[in-house]
Amino acid sequence: MRELKIFSGRANENLSQRICEFLHLERSSLHLEDFPDGEIQCKILEDVRGRDVYLIQPTCPPVDHNLMELLIMIDSCKRASANRVTAVIPYFGYARQDRKDEGRVPITAKLVANLITRAGADRVLTMDLHAAQIQGFFDVPVDHLYAAPVLNEYFQKIGLTEDDIVIVSPDEGSIKRALGHVKRLGGRLAIVDKRRSSAEKTKQENLIGGPIDGRVAILFDDMISTAGSICGAAELVRQAGARDIFVAATHGVLCGPAIDRLQASPVSQIVLTDSIPLAAEQQIEKIKVLSVASLLGEAIKRIHHDESISAIFS
């Protein structure tokens, strides 16, 4: 691991430190600061010439600032003659703008992929993209990890039996994800029929599958943003007779009214990962945070040694 260097942006330094602890490495040093006008300055404080460099930076809120910081770090490493630069992006911002769903709108996920590639990234390591096809937006290799093993392990440890649970997909786009959890955890599958009227407003119409009455419902999603969809789905599940409700998601964006909605919802516990750091006001009693540092650390080690990533999940 001697030729490996791991740097962290300011978006999620705690996760970066956990990854380094898993790999038994010291985090490499760089200096980042903001000028009074908001511009970002970056200086690499270690020799990276000919090294395999990993830059850990989720593009979570404030999205544009964290994205720009990532681009500047990539450029700094390339100009310092790093052999290979891998952008480790646990949460990929702008992923929901992945297609033209109406006229005269951008495909911003593709734009961001172009920016990261043109900045000089040789490889991208990310987790639970909102749309899997975003991997194809990059002109460099993309390793796409899933937090499902970490989430599944948690629910297996709390002692729920197959006959006692129902895995709920909060919308039709998450059915494949829900089926994967059914395969690992057992139980039945239910699907919420969600209708979206705008970027912020959704309505949960019907519940398909089950039965749910008297069982423990677990709703899996890739992210919780304003929590409108997941809380609406949880309310529908409660009306169907679930005796307990859990929500699990990889990315806790938790913006706008999310915390208030989750507090008022019938959900007993919300299980998130540390792909995005939670602010102090977001750390409520209902929220349980699991770390994906070992998953990302194992992937970094395997990339560095040119080993299989898919073997992690098999």
Q: Which residues are catalytic?
A: 194
- Amino acid 272 reads L
CB 254 within 8 A of CB 235: no
- In angstroms, the first-to-last Cα distance of the chain is 24
Cα torsion 68, 305, 290, 13 to 10°: value is -40
Q: What is the DSSP string of the chain?
A: -TTEEEEE-SS-HHHHHHHHHHHT-PPPPEEEEE-TTS-EEEEE-S--TT-EEEEE----SSHHHHHHHHHHHHHHHHHTT-SEEEEEESS-TTTT--S-SSTT---HHHHHHHHHHHHT-SEEEEE--SSGGGGGG-SS-EEEE-SHHHHHHHHHHTT--GGGEEEEESSGGGHHHHHHHHHHH-SEEEEEEEEESSSS-EEEEEEEE---TTSEEEEEEEEESSSHHHHHHHHHHHHTT-SEEEEEEEEE---TTHHHHHHHSS-SEEEEETTSPPPGGG--TTEEEE--HHHHHHHHHHHHTT--SGGGT-
Both tokens of 188, joined, read: 């039945």
Per the DSSP assignment, residues forming a β-bridge with 270 are 247, 287
